[in-house]
Chains A and B, each alone.
Chain A
Amino acid sequence: MAIPVSHPALESAAELAACLESLADEAGAQDLQGLQDATWMLAEALHEAPEREPDPEALSLLRGWPELAAAYRRGMAAILPAMRQVLRHPALGLPLSEEEFDWLEARLAEGVPAVERAEEPAAHLDETPAFALDEAPAPSAEDLPSQASGLDVAPVPAQKALQGLPRQAQELIDLLLMQAGAVAAVLDNAESDPEAARDEFERFGNAARTVGLEGLAEAAAQVAANLHAGAGPELRALVAEWLAEAQVYLTAFTEPEAGAGLVARLADPRWPLVLAAEAAAAILARMRGPDTQWWQEAGPVRAATASAEEVSLALPADVNPKLLGILLRELPVHTRQLAAIAQRLQTGGSPEDIDTAQRIAHTLKGSANTVGVRGVAALTHQLEDILLACAKAGQVPGRALRELLLDAADCLEGMAEALLGQGPAPADALAVLQRILDFANRIDREGLPEPDAELDAVASALEAGAAPIAVPAAEPAPAVEESAAALVQIPVEQVEDLLRLSGESLIFNGQAQERLRRVKAQLQAMQAQFEQLRLLGQELEELVDLRDWSGRAYGRVRADFDALELDQYNELHTASRRMVEAAVDAREMGLDVVAELARMDEALDYQQRLVVDVQEAVMRARLVPVSTLLPRLRRGLRQTLRLTGKKAELDFEGGDLAIDGEVLGAIAEPLMHLLRNAVDHGLEAPEERARRGKPELGRIAVAFDREGNHALVRCRDDGRGLDYAAIRAAAEARGWLPPGQPASEQELARMILRPNFSTRAVSTHISGRGVGMDAVQAQVAALGGTLALRSVVGVGLTVELRVPLPLSRSHALLVRVGSQRVAVASRGLDQIFYSGVGQLHGPEDALEWRLDGVPYPAVRLGNLLRFPGSRPVPDPPGAILLVRTADSATAVLADAVFDSRELVVKDLGPYLPKLRGLMGATVLGDGTVTAVVDLPELLRAPGQPVAVAADWAEAAAIPEVPDVLVVDDSLSQRRALEQLLADAGFRVKSARDGMEAAEILAKEWPLLVLTDLEMPRMNGIELTAHIRAQPEGKSLPILMVTSRTTQRHRQLAEDAGVDAYFTKPVRDDDLLDKLHGVLAGAIAGPVRRGAG
């Protein structure tokens, strides 16, 4: 009986039940409800008879279920009959009625994922299900037709003949087996599409030749010739049988009799073209001596000894913080998953676990390589190879490997924690890597050891001297790792909340201080009153004393009465004295309160300083040094220079400036565009520069600065400047400017900011495609910023971007304008004069203010700031603010300046764009919101500079058709490619796998597709086949970037129709060169083998 490949690891019914339950959960998580229900049924069947000795046949059936489920999840509808037979098998005795069976099977059939993979089994060859449950003799060389059932989804297990071959060789054979499956799949449709079947067969032959199996290739060519010569079900059956035989050969081609059956079959008289005996003998000779020498040379050589550098967690100096952030987010999740799988494998596990672990290792390797964390990359690289070998062999790891996987997972978790600053770097990293290397090298030499032999293998490796290197217990972490320890991931929203709350604290602190000031003022008044009271009391006391004294002077006084006797004093004396004492006490108490309030004032001041510190600390959390952009700018410049053949160097100023990370990220793309434009349009060719007397080396200067609440970015080149004549010609050609109509240089300069403007007749991918400066302007406008151009013909062009920062601190004057208060940022304020200084002359619409004989144009603040219901400003004004603009000074007349302080300036929120003349708004101590005015900007007459405010309609009109579609399942790889291509001037769209890419392609076709090979759901090969199958996709350039280095993968890619194949790590320049070449139509043929 041909049972699906079963899992020996699942020995006991309990283990099997647990495995099935886990499988059902996974199916549920993938929304494969049919599979989930069926798997639960099977698990319950085991649970329902716990006391009973499980039927061995039932167990055997159930052990094969995970394999069926895996095939089902890969979208192979062909295994449905086999699943049906398992479910209905009497040995299982599922308590279902016929109707319920039908319902369950219908759910299974409906739920097959819509993915047809290249390795679709040969079940299409005939109506025989791939996993036939009927009893059949074990395959033998004499019983070749029965081998047709070997063309199923599972890898052919009997590969003992290959076990001595290197890993690469085994991979190549696996490839051929896969290709055999692909041929079988199309054979099913050979009647309707015979050409496809012939093509696939030729590919199979080519693949065989590529791997050195010349005999097989020739035999395949014979079959292909037969397919050309004939058709019909009999021929298809012959081909199917031959393919089955080919599979047998592939698993045993090193055997003495290998290939005999394969060649003998071609002599069958039923073939349209029967192989002649001489030709058969020649083919057979080649079949027994395959040229596999190069296998030994193929692929990179694996190191024998791990080095300390390979486990280093040091980050590269020019690490991309964005990619690092992604890695730090991915890393803990993936390492946790890997650890869970390693743990699960300790008690069994399944081949799916191995597949998942391999994919995780692959993803981590890619991400770590992209960011440059060598320790994680090296460990996962070796781990992936081991897991791949296990997956290919369909073998669950034995004890030794399981323990090694667990150690590796622990080590990776430790590395993740170290990178996240949650712990030290794992001390055993080097030892773990060495053990993994030893194991991987052993697989290379001897193949994957049998589970039982693993322990011996490791033991013998230890004895042979490949012992793990002794590592000092606590290796000190490098300095960079220490800096990594400070990294904490906090969502931006949380930082914003902290900032808002600290702002609120500051407001309430301000309110408390305000109340304190009032209390102090009231206390001062009270003190004055107490003093008054004390004086009055004193006066009264004197009066009382005087009257008494007078009385004593004029009345009768007994001679025997002492003047000091009490009865000489009446109640008035007592009251007046008590009043004086009370007044003095009240004053003393008042002084105590004053002292207490002073201490409270100090406490509030201290609290204010603390809150300001907190606020600044939180603000700093959002800030990123501008210098982090420098590597990206240099790379972009280098690439553009290479493409244009020009020479230039980059000056970078303001690198120490720290600005909001999101703003910096948003500025990066327009800035890269400016840089490319500066090279492509601005700088002259070296010869022309020489003619003009300019240095051969052009200069491009990028300078960052902060101006109030704005980031100011200037990109300056020393090229030819704007070519106004060419701009005019282009504008006239587009009908934007009537021919001959005068236009100022400023007006002409604005033309280049219009959508689709280009002075180029031919577009390039560097710039000049008409989506250049308008895109820059739209991006800047979307940030609420402005773009200004300053060009001098023959000297160069400066493009200035002013982008508001979402939040900042600024010093400001609080000014009264009519009944309103505004904060005037001190930026541009030269001097402040109070009423009475200087003289005001002239009519209201042409006011002039003179100071020491120097006239200044004057304007009332109330006229600059039109508030509803504002009243005329008193004359003379309460304060005169002398504001310095670019080339002059203006006197701004304000009602009064009543305070000056540091403010937190906020932007106006998501619904209000930048308003002219406003830096933002602030919340004052009493909770009121006040506009923060930027006087220099307000004084600039609208339209005076070549500054373009936000034009959302134009921004929205920019076409969104992508240039390049990036397809990769690794987020960090995707982001890295997106950034590289965006920096090179391409519009990029990305997809997580082939399925998502296909969905995008159903709506729009890019200029080029850049895809990974291995991806879930639909891989790169399948995607390429999908694209090539459509008329629009026949000539679409497809580039593949993968970590797969073997020739077989290249061959697969070529066969599918990939235009260029790159193996990671790929140099950015190489990739971009090829990309430009492909787009320019320079590529002459398919795969360039040496590329990358």
Chain B
Amino acid sequence: MESNPQQPAAPLPNPARQATWFGFRVGRFGFLVPEVLFGEVIEQAQVNPLPNTQAWFHGLCNLRGHLVPVFDPHRLLGEEVADPRKRRLFAIGRGERAVALWIDGLPELRDAAPQPPTADLPLPEHLRPHAAGVHREGERLWLVPDYGAWFKALGRSLAST
């Protein structure tokens, strides 16, 4: 799946007030990606681990010559994979600024109006500072992180291992 191929992917903008979003699920959490970002489901990707890294970092995959880091948000959020057979690798961003996440199922187009997050949101510590917005739909929280900042913070924490 690709969206807005004309839009530059780098750097990942801080998403704010987007009308249409790509939504994807990670366990009980939902995530929204601004439509302006490039999104791509990577089929048949081989993820190659890097030594001395943490379990939530799966390694790198080769996406048309670019080395794309692969994170496992399930481990980061302490969530179970709903159905391992339906797990997909979803790349956010393009070129060297792409980052891939393991997600449950396929991403979908969603309409949402995220609000600024409140202090009592049940979020893990590593994600809380980067939550730029949240959209509630029933019991499910749809989060809008500042993806660029979040991924960089995750990278920094890898370096400190």
Contacts and interface: CB of A to CB of B under 8 A. Distances in A.
Nearest to B97: A910
A714 interface: no
A908 B98 CA distance: 12
A765 to B, nearest CB: 33
A929 B51 contact: no
Interface of A: 496, 500-501, 503-504, 507, 817, 820, 822, 864-868, 906, 908-918, 921, 923, 927-931, 933, 949-950, 952
Given A504-B65, A950-B156, A915 B151 contact: no
B59 interface: yes
B60 A866 contact: no
Interface string B56-71: 0001111011111100
Interface in B113-156: 151-152, 154-156
Contact of A918 (B10, B51, B55, B96): B51
B65 A500 contact: yes
A923 B53 contact: no
B101 interface: no
A933 B50 CA distance: 10
Contacts of A927: 46, 62
Contacts of A820: 49, 51
A923 B68 CA distance: 12
Contact of B46 (A822, A866, A928, A949): A928
Contact of B69 (A503, A504, A908): A908
Contacts of B99: 911
Contacts of A864: 51
B158 interface: yes
B62 A923 contact: yes
A918 B48 CA distance: 14
A507 B65 CA distance: 9
A913 B52 contact: no
Instruction: Across the A-B interface, give the 6 residue pairs with the lowest CB-CB distance, nearest first.
Output: A865-B51, A929-B48, A504-B65, A911-B155, A913-B159, A929-B60
16 contacts: A822-B51, A867-B51, A868-B49, A908-B67, A909-B66, A909-B68, A909-B96, A911-B97, A911-B99, A912-B158, A913-B156, A916-B52, A921-B60, A931-B51, A950-B156, A950-B159
A150 to B, nearest CB: 55
Nearest to B68: A909
B122 to A, nearest CB: 25
B155 A913 contact: yes
Given A927-B62, A950-B159, A909 B69 contact: yes
A915 B158 contact: yes
A152 B48 CA distance: 75
Contact of B62 (A918, A928, A933): A928
A927 B68 CA distance: 13
A147 B48 CA distance: 85
Contacts of A911: 69, 97, 99, 151-152, 154-155
A933 B52 CA distance: 11
Given A910-B97, A929-B59, A923 B65 contact: yes
Nearest to B96: A909
A911 B50 CA distance: 14
Given A504-B65, A906-B67, A911-B151, A930 B158 contact: no
A866 B161 CA distance: 12
Contacts of A865: 51-52
Nearest to A503: B65
Given A917-B51, A921-B60, A949-B159, 18 more contacts: A864-B51, A867-B51, A906-B67, A908-B50, A908-B67, A909-B67, A910-B10, A911-B69, A912-B158, A913-B155, A913-B159, A915-B50, A915-B53, A916-B159, A918-B51, A927-B62, A930-B48, A950-B156
B67 A921 contact: yes
A952 B159 CA distance: 11
Interface residues of B, number: 31
Contacts of B51: 817, 820, 822, 864-867, 917-918, 931, 933
B112 to A, nearest CB: 25
A500 B66 contact: yes
Contacts of A914: 159
A501 B67 CA distance: 13
A864 B51 CA distance: 9
Given A913-B155, A914-B159, A866 B52 contact: yes
Contacts of A913: 155-156, 158-159
A928 B49 CA distance: 10
Given A911-B154, A912-B155, A950-B156, A928 B66 contact: no
Given A909-B96, A911-B151, A504 B64 contact: yes
Nearest to A866: B52
Listed residue (B50, B55, B158) with the most chain A CB atoms within 10 angstroms of its CB: B50
Contacts of A868: 49, 55
A496 B67 CA distance: 13
A328 to B, nearest CB: 25
Contact of A867 (B11, B49, B61, B152): B49
Interface string B1-26: 00000000011000000000000000
A929 B61 contact: yes
B10 to A, nearest CB: 8
A950 B159 CA distance: 8
Contacts of A916: 52, 159
A77 to B, nearest CB: 36
Nearest to B55: A868
B96 A917 contact: no
Contact of A915 (B55, B64, B97, B159): B159
B68 to A, nearest CB: 8
B65 A908 contact: no
A362 B150 CA distance: 47
Contacts of A928: 46, 48, 62
Contacts of B53: 915
Contacts of B59: 929
Nearest to A861: B51
A899 to B, nearest CB: 16
Nearest to A781: B159
Contacts of A921: 50, 60, 67
Contacts of A507: 65
A501 B160 CA distance: 33
A647 B64 CA distance: 55
A822 B60 CA distance: 13
A908 B151 contact: no
Nearest to A870: B51
B129 to A, nearest CB: 12
Contacts of B61: 929
Contacts of B46: 927-929
A908 B60 contact: yes
A913 B69 CA distance: 12
Interface string B22-58: 0000000000000000000000001011111101000
Contacts of B97: 909-911
A530 B65 CA distance: 42
Nearest to B160: A949
Nearest to B66: A500
Contacts of B160: 949
A931 B69 contact: no
Contacts of A500: 65-66
A923 B49 CA distance: 13
Contacts of B60: 908, 921, 929
A471 to B, nearest CB: 49
A950 B152 CA distance: 13
Nearest to B53: A915
A532 to B, nearest CB: 39
Contacts of A909: 66-69, 96-97
B71 to A, nearest CB: 9
Contacts of A952: 156
Contacts of B65: 500-501, 503-504, 507, 923
